[in-house]
Amino acid sequence: MSDAVRPPEPAAPTLARRRRKPLNARTAEAAGWTDWIANAGFVALLVLTILGPSMTSENTGLQSQIRMGGYLLISFAALVALEPWRRPERLLVVPWPLLLALGWCWISLGWAIEPSIGLRRLVLTSLVLWSTFALVRKLDLERSILLVRGVLVLTLAANFVVALTNPAIGVHPINANGFESDLTGDWRGIMIQKNYAGLTCAMTILLFAFYAERIQIGLRLGVIVASAIFLYLSDSETSQIMVVVSLAIGALFAWLAQSKGRERLAPSGLAWVLLAIPALLFVSMAVDNTPYLDMLTDPAGFTGRTQIWTALIRFYADYPLFGAGYGSFWDLGPTGPIFQYAKGWVTEISQGHNGYLDLLVQIGLPGTLLVLFATLVWPTQRLLRGGDHPVRPLAAAAFVFCLGHNLTESMLFDRDALSQVFLLIALAWLWMASASDVAGGRGPRVSLPLSQRR
């Protein structure tokens, strides 16, 4: 069918919109091999992400090499699946706000304390980011959501099996000591720590609460209830709180889609308020950190996190503009900056348990604001423009959950961290759905594979 008579397809996101042909603009018989590669690559990405915390718990060189090798293969699979030899612009799958934030991270290597270590970590972050958007773009909404659901359900089943049949592995042990003692009795399943298990359970709830009308109601409710039970037994408080907030956000956008249709919800400029609030906090923290340190005087507060946050705030106040450089704060050995601002067990951990403070100490105030623009302001602007695509409530709930989860865990713009990958997937879904809303007219509400849109 020629371009002149082909029915209009939903517009692609900005970077790939011009002179673009459908990724699957081939006959159905010829489309199979790249689709299989994309399916395998996306499943491998999800599996490696979920197993990542367990693989890196001992931080051995072999495990790091396996992870890096796996993500290199996944990136190669995504590259082949896009078939750039047909249309080179298909490689432009990452939204420009994320590219801008990632670019600042690369620039920060110029002043990084350990540029070689930061380089390795940033290469992994870049590979995961590009591969996620490339594979979601190739697979389309329907298939990518189906694969995420499948992997999460298998993870939930494995978590229950291990926790029930082998509590020594699936439940935090009673004879743990130190910081671990606060976790005794919490369920973790195949995950190395309860908060990772809680995160996957919360994401499973969201995936079956929204955009799941085609799934039998009994199966939906069964998965949601099972996930909620494991989430409760994990005692992952952040995930428990954020899943409730995210369900409310998703329900709100589902109602708005029904009542407003494609009507604009509010001026997109209002989204900048979401950036102004943390910007004011971060600036005031750099000018005078005393009020913030006064709020963290209890060493046992937030299960000891206040001691970590105190060290981070002090370092940020000394280096507010540029920080230590991407990947140059934690896990650097005795020469790392954390040893100058903390002592004891705080120097032995590998993250600050707050994604925003961790970004401030690594890439400074400008870089952190760029990341927040890309992950908070930009997607909120797309939501405020309105639209009735059914995946929008799911995407909104998922990205709100991931950003909220970073209040107590550091995963934002951090390699293949769990909530980082789920955040990227949610943003990719929102990007595709909002592009469909812009140019798709009032066509079918269900996203079809691109190969069927001709």
β-sheet bridge partners, residue 171: 187
Overall number of domains in the chain: 1
CA distances from 279 to 114, 284, 295, 316, 431 (A): 27, 9, 19, 14, 25
| Contact criterion met (CB below 8 Å) for 125 and 102 | yes
Residue 341 included in any domain: no
* Total residue count of the chain as it appears in this document: 454
Q: Which residues contact 287 (CB under 8 A, 6 or more apart)?
A: none
Residue 305 included in any domain: no
Secondary structure letter of residue 376 according to DSSP:
I
Identity of residue 113: I
28: left (phi over 0), alpha (psi -120 to 50) or beta: alpha
Q: Enter the tokens of residue 454.
A: 């001709």
| Contact criterion met (CB below 8 Å) for 423 and 415 | no
pTM over 0.75: yes
Q: Is 171 helix (H, G, I), strand (E, B) or coil?
A: strand
Residue 99 included in any domain: yes
pLDDT at 26: 44
Domain with 259 in it: 31-275+352-444
Write out the chain's pLDDT in tens, 454 residues: 334 333 444 444 444 433 344 444 444 444 588 899 999 999 999 999 999 888 776 555 677 788 889 999 999 999 999 999 888 998 999 999 999 999 999 999 999 999 999 999 999 999 999 999 999 999 989 999 999 999 999 999 999 999 999 999 999 887 544 444 577 889 999 998 999 999 999 999 999 999 999 999 999 999 999 999 999 999 999 999 999 999 999 999 999 988 988 888 899 899 999 999 999 999 999 999 999 999 998 887 787 889 999 999 999 999 999 999 999 999 898 889 999 999 889 998 889 999 999 999 999 999 999 999 999 999 999 999 988 899 999 999 999 999 999 999 999 999 999 999 999 999 999 999 988 665 444 333 333 343 333 3
Residue 311 included in any domain: no
Residue 294 included in any domain: no
Tell me which residue of 129, 93, 147 sits closest to 435, measured CA to CA.
93
| Contact criterion met (CB below 8 Å) for 39 and 140 | no
| Contact criterion met (CB below 8 Å) for 37 and 123 | no
CA distances from 436 to 46, 92, 264, 446, 448 (A): 25, 18, 15, 11, 11
Q: Taking the CA atoms of 211, 213, 216 and 219 in sequence, report the sign of the dihedral they define.
A: positive
- Element spanning 45, H or E: helix 32-55
CA distances from 389 to 73, 401, 448 (A): 33, 20, 12
pLDDT at 57: 65
Residue 109 included in any domain: yes
28/146 Cα distance (integer angstroms): 20
Helix, strand and coil in the chain, % to nearest 5: 70, 0, 30
450/454 Cα distance (integer angstroms): 8
Residue 297 included in any domain: no
H helices within 166-193, ranges in order?
167-170
pLDDT at 12: 43
β-sheet bridge partners, residue 187: 171
What are residue 243's phi and psi, to 5 degrees? Answer: -70, -35
pLDDT at 76: 96
Residue 21 included in any domain: no
Q: Taking the CA atoms of 330, 127, 425 and 32 in sequence, report the sign of the dihedral they define.
A: negative
73/80 Cα distance (integer angstroms): 11
Residue 85: Cβ within 10 Å count: 8
294: left (phi over 0), alpha (psi -120 to 50) or beta: alpha
